Amino acid sequence: MTKLSVNINKFATLRNSRGGDNPDVVKAAIDAQLFGADGVTVHPRPDERHIRYKDVYDIKKIITTEFNIEGNPQEQKFVDLVLDVRPHQVTLVPDALGQITSNHGWDTIRHKAYLVDIVGKFKAAGIRVSLFVDPVIAMVEGAAETGTDRIELYTEAYAHGFPTDREKAITPYRTAAIRATELRLDLNAGHDLDLHNLAYFAQNIPNLSEVSIGHALVCDALYLGYENTVQLYKRQLQPIE
């Protein structure tokens, strides 16, 4: 079954808005695991507006499932953090400085030389690498040439198209997933997946290893409760018998 990694950035956003340690980000990571998540994702940014670098070290101490750190490797501070913490997986995202949220994947052709170097650096440290890419065949093929272990398909376009034409919305992702499998790339996905569109995505994308979900899951948890919400998302990933 496709694994669920809970992105806990929004817990940190809420904490930082008031100061102090409420909600406790480390407890959010512990509870995600207790409630059935297969992993925990964090995305520290240079301005530390949500997850702080100290949080990453604190979470590493208590992780019992999979730890995924997302971020822009063009920031040396991020590279140093990942090599020091050594999570199970690093997801490389081409964010601009100060960007509110990720909004595009890598141009794996234009940045091939750079990606080959940075992917090799993380893999040499024993860290699985995933590249954030758009569902474009050329970008998937370019990713395969970098030596990355996985790609993470950026799913905002799918989420936006799902309410009006789900088949049209899923088609480029299915095509990209098939090509990734042919190239022996494992497959992750994330961004704007929620309780409305997740099941259809998981049922129609072959060989989907993992989804990383944060914003929608935390918003749902405000109404439905954290434990219940994690379980609801897990159910969306169950294969149809």
DSSP state of 191: S
CA distance 230 to 51: 20
Which structure tokens are listed for 21? 């340690």
Which structure tokens are listed for 9? 């950035």
Show the beta-strand stretches assigned E in 51-111: 66-71, 89-92
Instruction: Please tell me which residue in 50, 66, 70, 210 is annotated as part of the active site.
Output: 70
The reply to whether 70 belongs to the active site is: yes
Instruction: Please tell me which residue in 50, 66, 152, 191 is annotated as part of the active site.
Output: 191
Q: Which of 186, 115, 178 is nearest to 145 (CA)?
A: 115
Q: Which of 134, 233, 108, 112 is nearest to 189 (CA)?
A: 134
The reply to whether 104 belongs to the active site is: no
Burial class (CB in 10 A: 0-12, 13-18, 19+), 161: middle
Q: What angle do CA 93, 144, 99 make, to 5 degrees?
A: 10
Q: Around 218, how many Cα atoms within 13 Å sit in the side-chain half-sphere? A: 19
The reply to whether 191 belongs to the active site is: yes
Contact criterion met (CB below 8 Å) for 42 and 59? yes
Instruction: Please tell me which residue in 43, 50, 66, 210 is annotated as part of the active site.
Output: 43
Which structure tokens are listed for 152? 């993470």
Catalytic (active-site) positions = 43, 70, 191
